[in-house]
C-alpha cells in the first residue's frame, strides 16, 4: 500500500503532535508513506492558484515559484533531521532537480513524483529518469523512489515506460504508482477505473502499485457524499469538521456502510482528535460535500 499524507506538516510536527505515530503506523502496516511539505506554492506565492476563478491559470503551472525550491529544500532538511521523515512528495521540476542534487551531494533523501506533475508519456519518463541516473550517488542509487504517472496513461504507455526504466537500471529503485481510482469529485472525469490496465501491465512489469484514492465509480455514485479532495489552503484545514465527516470516511475506508468500530468510539478525546485528523487527510480523501 502507498499512502500520501496531505495534512499541514508544521501542524503535525509540532510538540505533542502525531507525525512520528503516523510514520510508525505506516511502517507497521507495511505501507510506503510520503509527507507533503508546506512549501508547495499554496500559500499565495503562486498566482495561478485561486480556485475556479483562475482555472485557466492552472495550466500554466501548479508549482513552486521564485525561490521556493530552496525553501522546499530547507523545509525538507528540517523535517528529516527533526522528525526522521525521509520520503516526501514532489510536484515541480525545480524541486525535483534539487532533490536529485541532494542525493548527489551525499544526503540520503527520498521523494516521489506526484500525479500532478503530469508525467503522461514515455518521453517525460525518459527525461526524468535520465536526470535521476545522471545525478545518482556513487553507488548508483537515486533519491527518486516512486513515480505517480498521470491518470491519462494507458496500458501501452505503462509498458513503454517500463522499458525506459529497465534500460536505465531502475527496475528495483523506482516504483511506478498508478491510480486505479480517484476521488469521485474534483480530479478526473468519471467513471474512472484503471484496474484492468494495471493488472495487464503487472503481468510483465515489476515494481508497480495500484493506488486507490476513491471507491469504485459504481459505488461512489450511490453515496450521499462521494469522495472529494480535501481543502488545499492553509486557512481551510481538513481538521475542521473532521468529527462530522467520520461516518462517511469510515464507509470509504471499509468499502461499505458500517458504523464506526467500538475501539474508535472509546478513544480518549485527544487520541480521537488525532485519529480523525489523520483519517481526514490520508490519501483516500473522503470528505462530505460542503
Whether residue 239 is contained in a domain is answered as: no
Alpha-carbon distance of 144 to 132, in angstroms, equals 7
More confident residue, 148 or 27: 148
Is residue 152 included in any domain, yes or no? yes
pLDDT digits (tens, 9 = 90+) for 197-209: 999 999 999 999 9
Q: Is residue 290 included in any domain, yes or no?
A: no
pTM for the model stands at: 0.73
Does residue 260 lie in a domain region? no
**Strand order through the sheet with 87-90:** 2-5, 32-35, 87-90, 110-113, 144-148, 175-181, 208-212
Domain of 179? 2-224
Q: Is residue 246 part of a domain?
A: no
Q: Tell me: the pLDDT tens digits for 154-210?
A: 999 999 999 999 999 999 999 999 999 998 988 889 999 999 999 999 999 999 998
Q: Establish if 205 belongs to a structural domain.
A: yes
* CA distance readout (Å), 17 to 60, 274, 289: 36, 8, 27
Q: Residue 188 domain-assigned?
A: yes
Phi-psi region of 225 (alpha: psi -120 to 50; beta: other; left: phi over 0): beta
- Residue 209's region, left for phi above 0, alpha for psi from -120 to 50, else beta, is beta
Q: What is the pLDDT of residues 71-119, one digit of tens each?
A: 999 999 999 999 899 999 998 999 999 999 999 999 999 999 998 888 9
Q: Give residue for cell 455514485.
A: 221
Residue 281 belongs to a domain: no
Number of domains in the chain: 1
CATH of the domain at 63: 3.20.20
Amino acid at each position: 500500500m502507498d499512502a500520501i499524507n496531505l495534512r499541514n506538516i508544521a501542524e503535525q510536527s509540532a510538540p505533542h503532535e502525531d507525525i512520528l505515530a503516523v510514520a510508525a503506523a505506516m511502517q507497521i502496516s507495511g505501507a510506503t508513506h510520503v509527507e507533503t511539505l508546506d512549501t508547495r506554492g499554496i500559500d499565495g506565492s503562486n498566482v495561478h492558484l485561486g480556485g475556479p476563478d483562475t482555472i485557466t491559470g492552472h495550466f500554466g503551472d501548479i508549482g513552486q515559484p521564485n525561490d521556493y525550491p530552496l525553501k522546499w529544500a530547507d523545509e525538507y532538511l528540517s523535517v528529516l533531521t527533526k522528525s526522521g521523515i525521509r520520503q516526501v512528495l514532489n510536484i515541480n521540476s525545480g524541486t525535483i532537480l534539487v532533490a536529485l542534487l541532494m542525493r548527489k551531494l551525499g544526503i540520503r533523501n527520498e521523494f516521489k513524483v506526484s500525479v500532478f506533475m503530469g508525467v503522461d508519456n514515455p518521453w517525460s519518463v525518459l527525461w526524468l529518469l535520465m536526470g535521476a541516473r545522471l545525478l545518482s550517488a556513487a553507488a548508483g542509487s537515486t533519491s527518486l523512489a516512486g513515480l505517480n504517472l498521470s491518470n491519462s496513461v494507458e496500458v501501452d504507455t505503462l509498458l513503454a515506460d517500463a522499458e525506459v526504466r529497465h534500460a536505465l537500471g531502475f527496475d528495483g529503485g523506482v516504483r511506478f504508482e498508478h491510480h486505479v481510482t480517484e476521488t469521485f469529485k474534483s480530479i478526473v472525469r468519471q467513471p474512472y477505473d484503471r484496474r484492468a490496465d494495471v493488472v495487464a501491465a503487472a503481468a510483465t512489469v515489476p515494481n508497480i502499485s495500484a493506488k486507490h484514492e476513491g471507491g469504485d465509480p459504481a459505488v461512489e455514485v450511490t453515496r450521499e457524499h462521494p469522495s472529494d479532495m480535501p481543502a488545499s489552503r492553509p486557512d481551510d484545514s481538513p481538521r475542521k469538521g473532521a468529527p462530522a465527516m467520520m461516518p462517511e470516511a469510515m464507509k470509504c475506508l471499509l468499502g461499505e456502510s458500517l458504523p464506526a468500530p467500538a475501539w474508535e468510539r472509546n478513544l480518549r478525546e485527544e487520541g480521537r482528535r488525532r485519529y480523525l485528523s489523520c483519517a481526514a487527510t490520508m490519501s483516500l480523501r473522503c470528505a462530505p460535500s460542503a
